[in-house]
Amino acid sequence: MKTKGYFCSVVGSREQNEDSYLVEDSLGLYAVADGIGGGLKGDVASQMAVDGLRNYRAETDSLKEIFKILQKDILLEATETLGGALMGTTLSCVEIKDKKATICHVGDSRVYFFDGLVLRQLTEDQEFYDEHLRGTVLNSYLGIDSDIHPLKISQETIPVASGQGFLLASDGLFKQMSDMRIVNLIREHLMNPQQIVEKLCDEASHVEHSDNVTVVYVEVTE
């Protein structure tokens, strides 16, 4: 079984892109990370997450353990460079090998599974509604203060087959575009996956007040 990843990342209407991504076909490893809004050095945190995911992969077979290591690394970076100020990132990843896909996730970036027809969300947004702020707030991400909310790492493994695919995205995609529109664009450009990610990013980024948008599409073949 082979995998091929395609990616696109755009700044949207923001001044800086604080998203990062990982596409490692040789490892069958793919990820999207989104620096926490309102925090400092979100771009650094998200890049630390995807770089660390790749680098620590050779040291352990457990994606969950890597996430725990990354939590410590980002907290240490925040302490040493920001005096403990808020610095964090989401991280959602897929590792595909031996006809299985393992999905590991923290935060509100998403992983979707595409079976050739239907798009299904595999991850759950880790957030709650804050009455004071009148909006949703993350209650788990890499870099979170465990005294406020414990880090919650979700993981599952599913079988995969040729012709299927995975879509990983920061919230700048699905908060600007409906799932129906996303799946329609995937179906329209299935023979050219690079167009899938480019079309998704382009459309989402042209919505008024758009966020950073990062999309990775993983194609599974024999």
pLDDT at position 222, please? 84
Which among 197, 181, 27 has a CA at the least distance from the CA of 95? 27
pLDDT at position 133, please? 67
Mean pLDDT lowest among 40-54, 64-78, 99-113, 126-140: 126-140
Q: How would you classify the pairing of strands 100-106 and 110-114?
A: unpaired
Q: pLDDT-based confidence at 37, cuts 50/70/90?
A: confident
CA pair distance 10, 18, nearest whole angstrom: 10
> 27: which residues sit within 8 A by CB, 6+ positions away?
54, 57, 95
pLDDT at position 144, please? 93
Q: 60-118 pLDDT, tens per residue?
A: 989 999 999 999 999 999 999 888 778 999 999 999 999 999 999 999 999 999 999 99
pLDDT at position 12, please? 95
pLDDT at position 129, please? 77
pLDDT at position 148, please? 82
Mean pLDDT lowest among 35-39, 49-53, 111-115, 192-196: 35-39
Task: Tell me what the mean pLDDT of segment 27-48 comes to.
Answer: 93
pLDDT at position 127, please? 86
- What single letter denotes the amino acid at residue 209? H
Q: CB 77: neighbour CB atoms within 10 A?
A: 16
Task: Tell me what the mean pLDDT of segment 7-12 comes to.
Answer: 97
Task: Tell me what the mean pLDDT of segment 9-27 comes to.
Answer: 96
**142 pLDDT above the threshold of 90:** yes
**201 pLDDT above the threshold of 90:** yes
Q: pLDDT-based confidence at 38, cuts 50/70/90?
A: confident
Q: 152-176 pLDDT, tens per residue?
A: 999 999 999 999 999 999 999 999 9
Q: CB 174: neighbour CB atoms within 10 A?
A: 23
CA pair distance 47, 183, nearest whole angstrom: 28
Please name the residue that has the structure tokens 């947004």.
125
Statement: the pTM of the whole predicted model exceeds 0.85:
yes
Comparing 36 with 128, which gets the higher pLDDT? 36
Tell me the pLDDT of the chain averaged across its residues. Answer: 94
